[in-house]
Amino acid sequence: MSAPTVIVHADADLLAAATAARAVTRLADAQAARGSASVVLTGGGIGIAVLAALAVAPARDAVDWRRVDVWWGDERFLPADDPERNETQARAALLDRLELDPDRVHPMPASDGPDGDDPEAGAQRYARALAAAAGAVQKAAEAPTPVFDVCMLGIGPDTHVASLFPGHPALAERKRAVVAVRDAPKPPPTRVSLTLPAIRAAREVWVLASGEGKAGAVRSALAGSAPEQVPASGVRGRSQTLFLLDRAAASLPAERVVSDGG
Ligand SMILES: O=C(O)[C@H](O)[C@@H](O)[C@H](O)[C@H](O)COP(=O)(O)O
């Protein structure tokens, strides 16, 4: 697993645009190497801003979107099409504008889906979809999950990532790739989330943070605190872990020159 690299951009708009450009490059490279690509999306302010930036990125169609698998890191367990669902926001910001293969778009369950208002059953259904998409080696692993090319994660001021909140038992999960989360401190209280082993299956994990309200969380995550208390410190990609920040989230004063590595 890779140690984090910190990359700081001047402001939120540049962070979103640069991350979108990075995503185009990574997904196109993955398709060149392996024929297809996979990405895990996140909800939240900067996560959706990156998707909106991707929608208008000049090189957007360097990716063959029909050969991209789209997954989610977490979902707010609400009815399909609810405007608060991460899926609904991702479709509006980006997915509806792309020529995707609908069979390769894998939204997390909704509370009015085939399992009804049962997030545990929904989580199991998503875990089965991940296991079916996993390659042979990954199928044999605990928490069977495909090797995602890119997994994007927002971070909360409390250091949560996906819907893995500090002190929550979901953080200790080692066997399941997906769990239901109840009593989340960020509304809505019921959610579905990938677990740490599923996130760590990704080649690249990108933690996105914008604004001074995230500066303390970013500092704690980079200080290497225990993931049970600081979930963002437990996420790693197999080949790369990036903290993609704006200057405010990196606690850099405005006059400081911005450069890679902060
Ligand atoms: O469903 C969600 O809310 C998320 O996926 C969550 O993990 C989010 O990414 C962070 O809470 C950051 O969100 P903000 O950027 O809005 O603060």
Residues 88-98 have pLDDT tens digits of: 999 999 999 99
Neighbours of 101 (CB within 10 A): 13
Structure tokens at 255: 């006059």
Complex confidence, ipTM:
0.97
187 alpha carbon to ligand 1 midpoint, in Å?
10
Residues, the chain? 262
Given a cut of 70, whether residue 196 has pLDDT beyond it is yes
Neighbours of 137 (CB within 10 A): 9
Q: Whose CA is nearest to atom 1 of ligand 1?
A: 43
How many alpha carbons lie under 13 Å from residue 203 in its C-beta half-sphere? 12
pLDDT, one tens digit per residue, over 78-90 is 999 999 999 999 9
CA 124/CA 151 separation, integer angstroms: 20
156 alpha carbon to ligand 1 midpoint, in Å?
6
CA neighbor of 209 nearest in space, from 47, 10, 4: 47
Structure tokens at 35: 């024929």
To the question of pTM greater than 0.80 for the whole model, the response is yes
pLDDT, one tens digit per residue, over 123-179 is 999 999 999 999 877 777 888 999 999 999 999 999 999 999 999 999 999 999 999
Three-class DSSP category at 95: helix
Phi, psi of 62 (to 5 degrees): -70, -20
Q: In order of start, what are the domains of the chain with their CATH numbers?
A: 4-246 (3.40.50.1360)
Q: Confidence band (pLDDT; 50, 70, 90) for 262?
A: very low
Looking at the chain, the whole-number percentage of residues with pLDDT higher than 90 is 90
CA 178/CA 148 separation, integer angstroms: 15
CA 143/CA 155 separation, integer angstroms: 23
Structure tokens at 182: 């109840």
Residues with CB under 6 A from ligand 1: 42-47, 74, 76, 86, 154-156, 160-162, 186
What is the distance of C-alpha 149 from the center of its chain? 11
Q: Which pLDDT score is estimated for 253?
A: 62
